[in-house]
Structure 1
């Protein structure tokens, strides 16, 4: 047992008293003095559960250190349960990095348990893959962490290597090229309200159409040029015509065109451009809390009166209407008055996805 070996190395004057080597008796040195000590190990050989029998002078020396002793034995036991990898583990990884190319290495920790590799896709976009190794590598594959909109799994055998992972990483990048082309065009040629700083895994974009009017789309990463899920946000007198155009012109959608071009053709609109419009024109603060962002949400409720059009956070408007004696609620719909113009306003509480 590893525990027995540890005992023999660190306390050579403690000798086993039985065949199972669960009882040790002998001497230890503390503060330049020798003390008699007897140790009774449990059947599972867990050091933190061992019993110590000693004289009162040794108890006096150990008084106040019982918590430290307990922590040390627990740490030693953990180390025994999870021993470090053998030397060939490190030499093998170094050789694999050498074979793959040091220029592809971004980061490696001191224990060689975490490695980050980089790669460029065919469009020149830079990507990272984080590998977390197990002590049984290469028998067991490392955990792979990537910023992808779809799950990334690797094919692995004990003969596989870092080069194997990197090659599969490049193939996955190539399969997602069209998706990232579509998202990059949206990010470059429209005003994206949400997310503020989209990651490579983000499939949702909320695009500004006009003052307090936007469309939220969810793009399928496997079929990025197909019709996405669309949800319009804004006053009904502005949103309803857009919904009608989408329904009436859906036959015009051409998968051979880019997603942005299809949205323009079907909705019969020109999206505000970064080069011609200031983003501040589409980031009006909430009329209740006077902030633009509230718990990472931006105003998505608008007064339907054309002369008002004031935006609100859903949470703010809900709290406001709930406090009005004249408001009423039916299921997830609340009827009340606009905080600004006092015209009728309807709030449909949406259920947030987890």
Structure 2
């Protein structure tokens, strides 16, 4: 019987706080328009017989309204503890992540706030809730797209909700300021789902790109990334920036690498725009327009990574930079490392504005004004 009653209470009051032995329950009771934190002792749970208020949890605010609370509860006569909770309209009291009850400054004085949040979350669907913090300030929801990818929506809910909008964080491939989010949780979730569905084709193409092509940046792409840097022939890196809503349109394209190769690829893009076919994937379009192949992923990641280590510092990622400058011999360099190489012998290089490749001694041309911040 205890288990059955507990399940019913959890169903009707899913976020009410209770002790492990079900003898102590904490929540809000509304009196004189104020939300007062109280603790109910239920020594004969699931019966309401012998229940009483626990005065040990009294604070200054509770004391001020204590007589009103006692009067309200004394008028209630019922047999079961569940009925008691229903009659006094017990509401949830949030807790912090370490299990302590939140302080007064973190709790809204609006008795309807937490029930409003719970109602809206339940309208979204409990199966779509990944996590709800104990203080009701953070909720993480999910939506699975048609390709079975799971996407996350995180809301940070302020005390002034819904007049004050929740802070929204998603894995959508847009800048945060590009979306105007509504104020209500359910409406936010519906808009999130709509954007996820619109981006499915984009993620399909990105999954293909990341699966077969050697992407050097980001090294661990996530769903919010709408740019890629990938390796082409001749040690050229192609920089791609996509519009996630029109993923198969011609992206913004630039290149880094040996100057003569970069010039050739740039010319191919300029002259081949009219060949772009939005019915094809980005990979196929770029190969057709550029007339070259992407460097494909190698099963041996260690060997592959070694081939793209900076020739100067022998690491791949340095100060959030990857090697983008290359020599015809295959050596690659971070811009900062090549700059350091340049200034280390400025008397030799200042006139010819070039750097000798440490491996093959070929000249690597540099801009007339060579600075780490602009190169």
- Fold shared per TM-score above 0.5: yes
Q: Greater Rg, structure 1 or structure 2?
A: 1
Cα deviations by residue, 1:209-259 (Å, 9 ceiling, x for unpaired): 236222111112232222112222222343343333333322211122222
* Aligned position for 2:47: none
The worse-fitting range, judged by mean Cα deviation, of 93-102 and 191-200 is 93-102
* Aligned position for 1:290: 314
| Number of equivalent positions | 271
d(CA) in 2 for partners of 1:219 and 1:172? 16
The structure with more strand, counted as a fraction of residues: 1
Distance 1:240 1:9, change over 3 A: closer
- In structure 1, which of residues 339, 343, 346 is the aligned counterpart of residue 365 of structure 2? 346
- Say whether 1:235 aligns with 2:258: yes
Native 8 Å contact 1:235 1:309 kept in 2: no
* Aligned position for 1:91: 115
Distance 1:352 1:93, change over 3 A: farther
* Aligned position for 2:35: none
Cα deviations by residue, 1:96-119 (Å, 9 ceiling, x for unpaired): 323322111111112101111111
- Say whether 1:264 aligns with 2:283: no
The worse-fitting range, judged by mean Cα deviation, of 111-120 and 216-225 is 216-225
Distance 1:137 1:244, change over 3 A: closer
d(CA) in 2 for partners of 1:137 and 1:182? 38
* Aligned position for 1:189: 212
Native 8 Å contact 2:229 2:237 kept in 1: yes
- Say whether 1:210 aligns with 2:244: no
Native 8 Å contact 2:172 2:195 kept in 1: no
* Long gaps (5+) in structure 1: 1-7, 13-78
- In structure 1, which of residues 136, 155, 161 is the aligned counterpart of residue 182 of structure 2? 155
Question: Matches of residues 269-348 of structure 1 in structure 2 within 5 Å?
Answer: 269-274=292-297, 280-281=303-304, 283-303=307-327, 306=328, 308-324=329-345, 325-328=347-350, 334-348=353-367
- In structure 2, which of residues 139, 147, 159 is the aligned counterpart of residue 115 of structure 1? 139
Distance 1:237 1:309, change over 3 A: farther
TM-score, structure 1 length as denominator?
0.67
d(CA) in 2 for partners of 1:342 and 1:315? 19
Native 8 Å contact 2:324 2:334 kept in 1: yes
* Long gaps (5+) in structure 2: 1-58, 64-102
Cα deviations by residue, 1:25-60 (Å, 9 ceiling, x for unpaired): xxxxxxxxxxxxxxxxxxxxxxxxxxxxxxxxxxxx
Runs of 4+ in 1 over 6 A off after TM superposition: 79-82, 350-353
d(CA) in 2 for partners of 1:310 and 1:153? 46
RMSD of aligned C-alpha atoms? 3.1
